[in-house]
Amino acid sequence: MFLGRVIGSVWATQKESGMENLKLLLVQPIHADGTDAGAQVICADRIGAGQGETVIVSRGSSARVLINKDSPVDAVIVGIVDSFEYRH
């Protein structure tokens, strides 16, 4: 999993089966100090994350099975961060 910041939303009408009724957010992976940490990811969100919030993202089969075993989703927001502390 990684830390990310919600930076936007994506809409698609024409899509594959299993993509219906999913809220898709654009997430920028970040380091703990708030700087960008690589390429943006489109995540399914079922827990109500909002623009600018810091979130935890899970990827791959871990994201897939959360939605359901046959889902085409490979990235999901799994937590909205209340706080974190770090000392690099």
User: Token pair of 66, please?
Assistant: 């959360």
Q: Is 67 helix (H, G, I), strand (E, B) or coil?
A: helix
37 to 76, contacts with a copy of itself by CB under 8 A? 37-43, 46-48, 51-52, 56, 58-66, 69-76
Q: What is the CA radius of gyration of the chain?
A: 13
Smallest gap, in angstroms, from Cβ of residue 34 to a copy of itself?
12
Residue 23 interacting with a copy of itself (CB under 8 A): no
CA dist 22 → 4, 14, 54, 85, 88 (Å): 19, 13, 20, 31, 36
Q: Residue numbers of the site for a copy of itself (CB under 8 A)?
A: 1-3, 7-19, 24, 26, 28-29, 31-32, 37-43, 46-48, 51-52, 56, 58-66, 69-88
